Amino acid sequence: MGSSNFLGGHSRKHKVTIVGSGNWGSTIAKIIAENTREHTDVFEENVQMWVYEEDVTIPKESKHYNESTADTPQKLTEVINKYHENVKYLPGVALPPNIVANPSLNDAVQNSTILIFNLPHQFIRKVCEGIRGEIMPFARGISCIKGVNVTDDGISLFSEWIGDDLGIYCGALSGANIASEIAQEKWSETTIAYDPPPMDSRAPTPRNASPNPDAAGEIPEIQHLDARGRKSKTKLTPLPIEYPPLDHNCFRMLFHRPYFHVQMVSDVAGVSLGGALKNIVALAAGFVDGRGWGDNAKAAIMRIGLMEMVKFGKEFFSETVRTGTFTESSAGVADLITSSSGGRNFRCARKAVEKGVSVQDVEREDLNGQKLQGTSTAHEVNSFLKARGLEAEYPLFTAVDGILRGEKKVDDIPALVSDT
Amino acid sequence: MGSSNFLGGHSRKHKVTIVGSGNWGSTIAKIIAENTREHTDVFEENVQMWVYEEDVTIPKESKHYNESTADTPQKLTEVINKYHENVKYLPGVALPPNIVANPSLNDAVQNSTILIFNLPHQFIRKVCEGIRGEIMPFARGISCIKGVNVTDDGISLFSEWIGDDLGIYCGALSGANIASEIAQEKWSETTIAYDPPPMDSRAPTPRNASPNPDAAGEIPEIQHLDARGRKSKTKLTPLPIEYPPLDHNCFRMLFHRPYFHVQMVSDVAGVSLGGALKNIVALAAGFVDGRGWGDNAKAAIMRIGLMEMVKFGKEFFSETVRTGTFTESSAGVADLITSSSGGRNFRCARKAVEKGVSVQDVEREDLNGQKLQGTSTAHEVNSFLKARGLEAEYPLFTAVDGILRGEKKVDDIPALVSDT
C-alpha cells in the first residue's frame, strides 16, 4: 500500500514504542515492526519495546536452544536483540530485527510520538508514574489492555487512566485476538477505537524554532464522561505540523497486516467494555455447555449476553457508545464468539459444571492460584449494578454472579432470562 | 401465565393445524399442543397435524418397539394417534395426546384459524393448491420453513408464497433451532416475525348472522416489495370479532415454552433471509476451520458474514428489514453461531478442506446424494448478485461461491475480504 501520497511532505517521522513485552505485547510488536519497515516514509523503522528485565534461559521451544548453554541465565533484552525472539513469552516466533528491546522504560519512550501500551492492567499506574513528563507532550497512545475498571463508584477505561496520567490522548485496541494464533500469522481481525477531539490546526514542534508560536496555544480539551456522568478534562497538546497526521489512516497503516485486519472506529468505551463484559457471557456459555444443553442454548446465551452488553454500554456511556461496536465489530460479537468457543473462562465454567464443583475450585486446581478475568468482572459488575438497584435489568449478568456465589443454579438460567 | 384477562370475552377459540410432520414439524406440534392445553380459553385443545400417510414399522429407538411386531407395517397416522409418538421422524419423544394426526390435508385444515407450515419448501406449492378455498378466509399462517427463494429475477419469501397462494397473511418463524435438541426440551430461543397490516375493525364471522355486515367490507390490503421493488397485493379478510385477536401476544402464547423462548418481531424478510444466508457463512466458517486457522479466524468470518447479511437485507428489502434482526435476534446472529459451530454445512465444508476434496465430493460421499442447503444458496445468491453487477460488494459470499466452483482457494479469503 503506498502511503506517501496522502502523508507526504512531512519532515519528521513517527517513532513507535511498545510498552510491554509479554505474549500479546511481543505479538503486537511483531506486527508493528513489520509495518514500520514497509512505511519508512511515515514511521521510523526501528521500534522500541520496553522489556521488564529478567534473567532467562533458552527453552526447548526456541530454535536457539542449545543443550550446552541451556542452564546459563542471560538477560532477556540481550536475548531478544541477539536472537530476535522473545524466548520467554513468545518462544518459537521470529521477531523482525527492527524491534529493539530496551530494559529502560524512560529511554524506550524518549522522542516517541506513538506509545502502545500492552501490559497487565495492574502495572498501568506505576508505568505511567515512571514516564510522566518524560514523553513527548503531543504523543498519542493506544491501549491494547483488555477490559475496564469497575468499582461501585463507576467504570473507568484503562485508556483513560493512561491518557489522564500522561496528559495525552489514548485510544484502545481490542478484538477476537488470541495472541498465539496471531503470532503464527493465522488470519484475524481487530478493532481500534481512536477518537481524539478535533484539532483545526497543529502546532509546530516545540523543539524547533517556530514561525508561528501562537499556534501552539490552541489547545483543545478532551472531555469524557465516566459512569457517573463526571467530566474529566485532559489538556491535549496538538501534534506539530512536521509530523504526518496521527489519524485513522495512520493507525491502520501501523497495525493492519495481511493476516491482521484492522477496523478503525471512534467508540473507545464500547471497544473497551466489549473486552470486559464478554468474559461474563463466556462463563454463562460454559455453564450451559457443561450442562449438555447443546448448540441452541449456547447461541441463545451468547445472544442474550450480547444484548446485555449493548444495554450496559448504552446505559452508562450513553454519549459515546454505539450499538454496532458490540453487534458488528471484532471487539464485540467476534471476541464474544471466540471467548465463548474455547476461551479460558468458558472452559473453566464448563468443567466446573461437568464435575459438579465450583468455578473457584477449578481456578484453584487448574490455574495455579490465578483468577479468571470473568469471575472478578462478574462480581464487580454485579456490585456496580446492585449499588444502582439495576440487577434485575441484567438477568444474565446477575445469574452468572449468582451461580458463581452458589446462590443460583445453571438450571435457573432459562427462567431468569425469560423476558429478555 | 393467565391469558383470560387480556383475551377474555371471546365466544370462539382458535383452532390450530400443523401442516407437516417431519422432525421439525413434530417438534413444533409438541410445543403447540403443550400450549393449547394450557390456554384452553384461547385455543381449542386438540391440534391437527397433517401427516403424509405412509406405512411404517416401529424402530428400536421407540419405547413402543416390540420384537414380535417389528416387521408389521402400520399406518403412520394410526401409530401417532395410538402411541403419541412419531416413530418415523421423531422416535423416542413423547408427544402430547392432544395432537391429532390426520392423513387428509383438507380435513386437517377445516375451520382452523391458525395454520403452521412446517414442510420441505418444495412441497409448498402443491400443498397450497390442495387447500386453496378450503381454509377459513381469515386464517393466519406461520411458516417454519427456513430460507428464501432466490432466482436471478428476485428473492421471494416462502411465507409470501403461502400468503399469496392462500390469500391469507403468513408470518415466519426461524432461530437457532436444532429440532432434536428442542424435542428433548433443551432450552433454546426462536424468533417469530408477524406483521399483518393494521386493521381497525374486525368483521363478525361470516358463518353467523352479522349485526353489521358492512364491517366485512373493510378489507385492508397488504403490500410487500420483492427484490425488484414489485408490489404484490393480497386482499386480507379481517378476523371476526368473536375470536381473540391474532396478535403478537397470541402467537407468543402459542409458541413460548419454558424451554423454547419466543421473541416476536415484525421483520419477516429479515427473519427469512437470516435462515438462508447463514448457510453461506457456515460454509466459509467450515473452510477456515478446516484450514486450521483457529478461533480468531472463525469469529472473523462470522462477523464479516453477518455484515454481508445485513447489507444484503438492507439493499434488497430496504423498506422493511431491520439491522437488529440480523445482529440481535435468534434468527440472525444466534442461528449463524449455531450453524457455524456444528451445522451440516459447516461440517461438510471443514471436512472438504481437511481432506483436500471438493464440498461436492463430501456431499456425494456423506449425504447419500442429498445436497447441502448452503451450496445451492451460495450459487443462487451469487447468480442474483452477478446479474446486478454487485458481486464485488459481497466479497465473502462471492468467495464462498468461487471456492465451491474451484475458482478460488480458501487461502484467498483474507485478501478478498480485506476491505470489509
- Interface A-B, measured as beta-carbon pairs within 8 A, has a size of 162
Beta bridge partners of A99: A47
Q: Which residue has the cell 491494547?
A: A144
- Sequence-ordered alpha helix ranges (H) in A171-232: 179-183
E-strand ranges in B21-147 read 43-50, 55-56, 74-75, 99-102, 114-117, 140-143
Average pLDDT over residues A114-126: 96
Flag whether pLDDT at A44 surpasses 90. yes
Pick the CATH number of B270-416 from 1.10.1040.10, 1.20.1440.230, 1.10.490.20, 3.90.1200.10: 1.10.1040.10
- Which A-chain residues 272-311 have CB contacts (< 8 A) with chain B? 288, 292-300, 302-304, 306-307, 310
What is the SS3 assignment for A131?
Answer: helix
Return d(Cα B68, Cα B57) in angstroms, integer.
11
Average pLDDT over residues A240-245: 95
Flag whether pLDDT at A214 surpasses 80. no
Q: Please give the pLDDT value at position B235.
A: 76
Q: Which residue has the cell 445482529?
A: B327
- ipTM greater than cut 0.95: no
Please give the residue that has the higher pLDDT: either A420 or B102. Answer: B102
Output the average pLDDT for chain B. Answer: 90
Q: Please give the pLDDT value at position B4.
A: 45
- Which A-chain residues 210-269 have CB contacts (< 8 A) with chain B? 258-259, 261
Which residue of chain B is at minimal alpha-carbon distance from A410? B187
Average pLDDT over residues A219-242: 62
- Sequence-ordered alpha helix ranges (H) in A194-293: 248-255, 268-290
Q: Please give the pLDDT value at position B269.
A: 96
Return d(Cα B40, Cα A184) in angstroms, integer.
61
Q: Which fold would CATH assign to domain B4-266?
A: Rossmann fold (3.40.50)
Which residue of chain B is at minimal alpha-carbon distance from A305? B328
Which residues lie below 8 Å from residue A211, measured CB to CB, with a gap of 6+? Answer: A204
Contact B160, B135 (CB under 8 A): no
- Which B-chain residues 15-74 have CB contacts (< 8 A) with chain A? none
Q: Please give the pLDDT value at position B212.
A: 41
Asked which of A299-303, B90-94, B317-321, B392-396 is least confident by mean pLDDT, the reply is: B317-321
Q: Please give the pLDDT value at position A420.
A: 59
Average pLDDT over residues B119-138: 95
Contacts 24+ apart (CB under 8 A), A219-224: A221/A197, A222/A163, A222/A169, A222/A196, A222/A197, A223/A197, A224/A160, A224/A269, A224/A320
Asked which of A147-151, B66-70, B250-254 is least confident by mean pLDDT, the reply is: B66-70
Q: Please give the pLDDT value at position A419.
A: 72
Residue A39 identity: H
Beta bridge partners of B350: none
A332-388 pLDDT per residue, tens: 999 999 999 989 999 999 999 999 999 999 999 998 878 899 999 999 999 999 999
Which DSSP letter does residue A112 get?
-
Q: Please give the pLDDT value at position B203.
A: 62
Flag whether pLDDT at B204 surpasses 90. no
* A60 C-beta neighbours (distance < 10 Å), count: 10
- Nearest CA of chain A to the CA of B275: how many Å? 14
Which residues lie below 8 Å from residue B264, measured CB to CB, with a gap of 6+? Answer: B192, B194, B248, B251, B252
> How many residues are listed for chain A in this entry?
420
Q: Please give the pLDDT value at position A357.
A: 96
Which DSSP letter does residue B153 get?
S
Output the average pLDDT for chain A. Answer: 90
Flag whether pLDDT at A218 surpasses 50. no
Flag whether pLDDT at B232 surpasses 70. no
Q: Phi/psi of residue A22, each to 5°?
A: -75, -160
Flag whether pLDDT at B8 surpasses 90. no
Percent of chain A whose pLDDT exceeds 90: 83
Q: Please give the pLDDT value at position A203.
A: 62
- Nearest CA of chain A to the CA of B160: how many Å? 27
Q: Are strands B169-174 and A114-117 parallel, antiparallel or unpaired?
A: unpaired
Average pLDDT over residues B368-374: 88
pLDDT-derived band at A232 (thresholds 50, 70, 90) equals low
The domains of chain B are located at 4-266, 270-416
Q: Please give the pLDDT value at position A144.
A: 98
Mutate to test the interface with A, among B303, B310, B409 (most CBs of A within 10 A): B303
B140-153 pLDDT per residue, tens: 999 999 989 999 99
Q: Please give the pLDDT value at position A235.
A: 76
Q: Please give the pLDDT value at position A294.
A: 93
Taking the Cβ of residue A186 and every Cβ of chain B, the question of whether any pair is shorter than 8 Å is answered with: yes
Q: Which residue has the cell 478460488?
A: B408
Please give the residue that has the higher pLDDT: either B219 or B203. Answer: B203
Return d(Cα B107, Cα B53) in angstroms, integer.
14
CB contact under 8 A, B306 and A300: no
Q: Are strands A231-235 and A169-174 parallel, antiparallel or unpaired?
A: unpaired
Asked which of A203-212, B361-370, B389-398 is least confident by mean pLDDT, the reply is: A203-212
3-state SS of A61-87? Answer: CCCCCCHHHCCCCEEHHHHHHHHCCCC
Q: Please give the pLDDT value at position A129.
A: 96
Return d(Cα A283, Cα A343) in angstroms, integer.
9
What is the SS3 assignment for A369?
Answer: coil
pLDDT-derived band at B223 (thresholds 50, 70, 90) equals very low
Please give the residue that has the higher pLDDT: either A207 or B10. Answer: B10
Flag whether pLDDT at B357 surpasses 60. yes
B166-186 pLDDT per residue, tens: 999 999 999 999 999 999 999
Percent of chain B whose pLDDT exceeds 70: 89
Grid cell for residue B232: 404484490
Residue of B376, B380, B325 lying closest to B194 (CA atoms):
B325
Residue of A125, A63, A120 lying closest to A90 (CA atoms):
A63
CB contact under 8 A, B261 and A418: yes
Q: Give the DSSP per-residue string, B193-257.
A: E--PPP-SS-PPPTTS--S-GGGGG---EEEEE-TT--EEEEEPPPPPTTSPP-SHHHHHHHH-B
Contact B404, B373 (CB under 8 A): no
* A38 C-beta neighbours (distance < 10 Å), count: 15
E-strand ranges in B266-301 read none
Return d(Cα B119, Cα B101) in angstroms, integer.
15
Flag whether pLDDT at B125 surpasses 90. yes
